[in-house]
Amino acid sequence: MEKLREYAKEIGIELSDEQLSKFLTYYEMLIETNKVMNLTAITEKDDVIVKHFLDSILLVKPYQELMDCKGVKILDLGTGAGFPGLPLKITFPDIDVVLMDSLNKRVKFLQEVIDKLGLTGIEAIHGRAEEMARNKSHRESYDICVSRAVANLSTLSEYCLPFVKTGGMFISYKSSEIEEELNNAGKAITTLGGKLTAVKKVDLPGSDIQRSFVIINKEKNTPKVYPRKAGTATRNPL
């Protein structure tokens, strides 16, 4: 795990021995569970360190406020095996994190990791975005929504922006080539109450990968009709 410490230093993060130990336990549980459940296609230790752990905490480059974000409430929507939410929580223990996924067995795995690592201020929730975004305890109640989910930006915006409070932001992890997708998502972002603020391109240490972070500020409430019923945002993006 010293590689993770070394690469984290390159992006301005000092990881303690205790944090590295938690990342190691997380890795071991991920690989063991992956034998019986499809959590990730990336299993080599060095690849998991760079392409999952480091990529998740790379958020600190475009959003340096993470360093001092005490009590900030972050939703990781479509978290899958816990990325980026769990690595963010391990690295920045003062943030509050909700991991949300539509597959219950993944949520159970995430809860097992949370319990094993003794993390507080983090919970794993089972639910679909279309349903949970209409729940008063979740709708427009998060400071930040993040997502590494694979979907076009228009679709992701419809799923994510309803969860973000006015004045908060939605940050999408994207590949380096994003221009066409941005152009196609303009209408959706505006309709949902957002405003494209910035696109920050960051090199991922230990690889030849460049990550684009799309930062969308929430300027006004999302109309109540969004998100539309299950599957609509994917089949017919705004």
In the chain, where the domains are located = 2-235
CATH topology of domain 2-235: Rossmann fold (3.40.50)
Each residue's pLDDT tens digit, 88-106: 999 999 999 999 999 999 9
Compute the distance between CA of residue 141 and CA of residue 75 in angstroms, rounded to an integer. 9
Each residue's pLDDT tens digit, 192-237: 999 999 999 999 999 999 999 999 999 999 999 999 998 898 899 8
- Cβ atoms of 68 and 74 closer than 8 Å: no
Q: Token pair for residue 29? A: 């549980």
- Cβ atoms of 49 and 24 closer than 8 Å: no
pLDDT interval class at 127 (50, 70, 90): very high
Compute the distance between CA of residue 160 and CA of residue 143 in angstroms, rounded to an integer. 12
